[in-house]
């Protein structure tokens, strides 16, 4: 797969089938992850893959609870506001997120990246994104989720046997599976809306009206 196609179309693929992901594909995703950079090349990470049905069932219950908590706190009123504004994009994200909360136990693979001794917490994210891009190249859909880490860090650590005294922090739970939906170009606010040139607040002297990478006729 061409790199720009992967960069432009790796989306939150929440709706996935429960078909297992072959071991060689999982190995390729993780081997790509650990080729990524980390501060000082410290590689202070661990990647925990979970496929066990009963563990994923428990994670699904925790995820559903965490999702409710998110909607009662940070996301409070978000759905109603989106409905009032007729904001279809936010409504789609919320309904797709709800699908994952309702169906988490069907996901065939969840990958938990952990990090420690990293004051910025930034070293884990190149690896996370590399893993998601490698998954995309294998037609495996992924979703980077953080809601479990926000509300259920301890419960997840206990379930997965993470030692409590070694400083490991969970960065995300990445759900992985073969897509039920279609890959598509990520829609975003135009680049010139969020880029400044030379000084804060100075718009660049250029604009990009349409995505610079476009899907081919074959999709």
Ligand X SMILES: Cc1cc2nc3c(=O)[nH]c(=O)nc-3n(C[C@H](O)[C@H](O)[C@H](O)COP(=O)(O)O)c2cc1C
Q: Which residues bind ligand X (CB under 6 A)?
A: 11-12, 14, 93, 97, 100, 143-147, 186
Tokens of 141: 């859909």
In the three-class reduction of DSSP (H, G, I as helix; E, B as strand; rest coil), residue 141 is classed as strand
Give the whole-angstrom CA distance, residue 25 versus residue 45: 20
Give the whole-angstrom CA distance, residue 3 versus residue 12: 18
Least distance to ligand X, CB of residue 178, Å: 17
Least distance to ligand X, CB of residue 78, Å: 12
User: Is the CB of 102 or the CB of 197 nearer to ligand X?
Assistant: 102
User: Is the CB of 58 or the CB of 179 nearer to ligand X?
Assistant: 179
User: Is the CB of 189 or the CB of 217 nearer to ligand X?
Assistant: 189
With beta carbons less than 8 A apart as the criterion, state whether 29 and 135 touch.
yes
User: Is the CB of 20 or the CB of 184 nearer to ligand X?
Assistant: 184
Query: Closest by alpha carbon to 141, among 176, 92, 106?
Result: 176
User: Is the CB of 11 or the CB of 152 nearer to ligand X?
Assistant: 11
Sign of the torsion angle spanned by Cα atoms 157, 16, 101, 29: positive
Least distance to ligand X, CB of residue 4, Å: 16
Least distance to ligand X, CB of residue 156, Å: 13
- Helix axis angle, 53-72 to 88-103, nearest 10°: 140
Least distance to ligand X, CB of residue 201, Å: 26
């Amino acid at each position: 797969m061409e790199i720009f196609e992967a960069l432009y179309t790796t989306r939150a693929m929440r709706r996935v089938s429960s078909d297992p992901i072959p071991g060689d594909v999982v190995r390729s995703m993780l081997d790509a992850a650990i080729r990524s950079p980390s501060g000082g090349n410290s590689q202070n990470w661990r990647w925990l893959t979970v496929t066990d049905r009963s563990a994923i069932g428990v994670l699904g219950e925790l995820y559903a609870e965490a999702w409710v908590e998110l909607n009662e706190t940070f996301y409070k009123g978000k759905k109603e506001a989106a409905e009032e504004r007729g904001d279809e994009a936010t409504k789609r994200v919320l309904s797709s997120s709800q699908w994952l909360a309702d169906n988490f136990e069907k996901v065939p693979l969840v990958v938990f990246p952990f990090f420690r001794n990293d004051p910025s917490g930034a070293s884990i994210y190149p690896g996370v994104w590399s893993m998601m891009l490698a998954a995309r190249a294998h037609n495996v859909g992924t979703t980077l989720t953080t809601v479990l880490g926000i509300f259920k860090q301890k419960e997840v650590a206990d379930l997965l046997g993470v030692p409590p005294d070694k400083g490991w922090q969970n960065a995300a739970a990445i759900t992985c599976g073969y897509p039920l939906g279609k890959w598509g170009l990520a829609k975003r606010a135009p680049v010139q809306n969020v880029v400044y040139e030379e000084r804060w607040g100075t718009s660049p002297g250029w604009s990009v009206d349409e995505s610079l990478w476009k899907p081919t006729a074959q999709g």
